[in-house]
Amino acid sequence: MSRQPPGAVEALSRERHALCVAVALLLCLTWSSGCAFVRGQVGEEFNEQDVQAIQKGVTTRAEVAARLGAPDEIVQAAGREIFHYRRYDSKLGYLLVISRLNIKSDNLFVFFDRNGVVDEVVFGKRTDRLEFQVWPFGD
Amino acid sequence: MAIGVLVVVLACSGCEARRVAFNDPIRPADVAFIEPGTTTLSDVVRRLGAPDEMMGTETRGVARYRFQVTKAFRVNFGWVFRFFSPVSPTMALGRVDVGTDVFQVVFDPNWVIQEQAFAYGASASRFSPWPF
């Protein structure tokens, strides 16, 4: 019988272990649905310069529409007309059998007085805090 | 270890868990600063960001914030057929729950908050494969 050099048995064991891990990973990839990272957006990103250019008591309804385009929605509240512009951004993380889709919205509300002049501007941006996440459980 | 990984993956591969979250939840502690009759809409927007929708009447306005979560869980018992059959039929139990939290403030024509209200519905959404 030939004798193995010192350490040969351990090396063989390590190789066998690595081979088992490789086979297991290959089977996982073969049988599972893989992974994906997908992004989707609805609407164009707000240009902050355009928003800052809207001045209370100065800018008119026509000027707002010329700069930002037609609003997504026009509503009435507290005796004022409101232009509502909105945008959505989403990020999907998908790994094997779990996934998480996060959606956030940006909203711009421009309030007009009875003369059609800007009375208030409310702008909020949430999409800059949007993250790719995969784990669906918990908060 | 490799066998352990394989067993876990095989055990889990017939299951799917999906979550869709729209915006961040607003907790009561986040809106504790609001004092009806004193706080203005600008104060609220500064702390919570812009609302998701506005509505109202000639004398009042309503700003609404929404958080919505959808949780879907599915177990496909037909998944095991793929090991010994060219066809793996779908034999699944699953459930999709949607829950929505709404926080709203009512303001007068001077932008002063008059009322606030919470509607909690997000907890109705949970992961469960049992549809019956």
Q: Residue A21 pLDDT more than 90?
A: no
Pair A24, A44 in one domain: no
How distant is the Cα of B20 from the closest Cα of chain A, in angstroms? Answer: 5
- Amino acid found at A32: S
- pLDDT tier at B17 (50, 70, 90 boundaries)? very high
Q: Measured on CA atoms in the order A10, A16, A19, A24, is the torsion positive or negative?
A: negative
Q: Please tell me if residue B2 touches chain A, with a CB cutoff of 8 Å.
A: yes
Pair A25, A37 in one domain: no
Contact A84, B54 (CB under 8 A): yes
Q: Is residue A137 part of a domain?
A: no
Pair A66, A113 in one domain: yes
Report the candidate in B90, B92, B99, B91 with the shortest Cα–Cα distance to residue B71.
B99
How many CB atoms sit inside 10 A of residue A7's CB?
8
Please tell me the total count of domains within chain A: 2
Report the candidate in A115, A72, A119, A116 with the shortest Cα–Cα distance to residue B107.
A119
Coil/strand/helix, residue A33: coil
Pair A75, A45 in one domain: yes
Q: Residue A2 pLDDT more than 60?
A: no
Contact across the interface for A24 and B3, Cβ inside 8 Å: yes
Pair A41, A76 in one domain: yes
Q: Which of A78-87, B14-23, B42-51, B82-91 is least confident? A: B82-91
Once rounded to an integer, what is the mean pLDDT over residues A40-56? 93
Task: Say which residue, B85 or B68, is predicted with more confidence.
Answer: B68
Contact partners, residue B63, CB within 8 Å, separation at least 6:
B41, B44, B51, B53, B54, B104, B105, B107
Which residues in chain A are closer than 8 Å to B19, comparing Cβ atoms?
A: 99-101, 136-137
Pair A101, A45 in one domain: yes
pLDDT computed for residue A3 by the predictor: 61
Which residues in chain B are closer than 8 Å to A15, comparing Cβ atoms?
A: none
Comparing CB atoms, the residue among A20, A102, A104 nearest residue B2 is A20
- pLDDT tier at B45 (50, 70, 90 boundaries)? very high
Contact across the interface for A31 and B109, Cβ inside 8 Å: no
Domain locations along chain B: 2-124
Contact B41, B107 (CB under 8 A): yes
pLDDT computed for residue A112 by the predictor: 96
pLDDT cut 90: percent of chain B above it: 58
- Assigned token pair, A18: 């690595």
Contact across the interface for B21 and A103, Cβ inside 8 Å: yes
Contact across the interface for A124 and B45, Cβ inside 8 Å: yes
- The CA-to-CA distance between both ends of chain B, in Å, stands at 38
pLDDT computed for residue A19 by the predictor: 84
Chain A to chain B, count of Cβ pairs less than 8 Å apart?
Answer: 126
Pair A15, A52 in one domain: no
Pair A1, A65 in one domain: no
Q: Measured on CA atoms in the order A57, B108, B27, B30, is the torsion positive or negative?
A: positive
Pair A97, A122 in one domain: yes
Pair A19, A78 in one domain: no
Once rounded to an integer, what is the mean pLDDT over residues A20-33? 68
Q: What is the pLDDT of residues A85-105, one digit of tens each?
A: 999 999 999 988 899 999 999
A70: containing domain: 33-129
How distant is the Cα of B54 from the closest Cα of chain A, in angstroms? Answer: 7
- Assigned token pair, A69: 């385009």
Q: Measured on CA atoms in the order A135, A137, B4, B8, is the torsion positive or negative?
A: negative
How many H helices and E strands in chain B? Answer: 2, 5
Q: Is residue A64 part of a domain?
A: yes
Q: Is residue A23 part of a domain?
A: yes
Q: Is residue A136 part of a domain?
A: no
Q: Which of A17-21, A51-55, A115-119, B72-76 is least confident? A: A17-21
Contact across the interface for B54 and A124, Cβ inside 8 Å: no
DSSP string, A57-71: TT-BHHHHHHHH-S-
Restricting to A residues 64-93, those with a Cβ less than 8 Å away from any Cβ of B are: 75-80, 82, 84
Q: What is the pLDDT of residues B49-84, one digit of tens each?
A: 999 999 988 889 999 999 999 999 999 888 888 778
